Structure 1
Amino acid sequence: MNFLTLRNDLQSAKTQFKIKLYDKLNSIHEQIDILQKNNIESHGELKLMNDKVSTNIVTAPFSGKILKIENNLKKGSKLNMTRYFL
């Protein structure tokens, strides 16, 4: 083997290494983009669930727990002692 052959082999190996490295980096960037998108979607779903929970909070002038509500209540519904709660 002569010097030119070794130099060409080295250059070829460097080129192949760079190609594999760039492919791996692109794959990692794609995975990061997907994970960021999923993270944004998950935060949106979490906010929606927190909003649903906050609309189902009952504030009363007395202590106790509501175990069952017979009638569907909407946000801002007024409660009084004649409504059935368990």
Structure 2
Amino acid sequence: AEVRGYLQSTLLRDGDVMAMAHGMEVRPILLDHRLAEFAYALPARLKWVNGSGKQIFVDAVTEFLPANLRTRAKMGFSLPFTGWMARE
């Protein structure tokens, strides 16, 4: 439901619209169906390690990531709606 609903109808669409508005093309490489099928087929014990649902991914890309990115805590992302609205 998450993939066909929110991801497909909202996240991908909005990302594409925003990128096109700035003359860019976005390629969500982690959405390759072969990668998704592999991830869905993994046993649960490999998907959730030490409280992290991303450990197997981090392990797979370790040689490509600087240490500070591998161990960084999850961060939120917010938009400055208040500032935008104040200017209108």
Q: Report the TM-score, using the length of structure 2 for normalisation.
A: 0.23
Higher RCO by CA contacts (8 Å cutoff, separation 6 or greater): 1
Q: Report the TM-score, using the length of structure 1 for normalisation.
A: 0.23
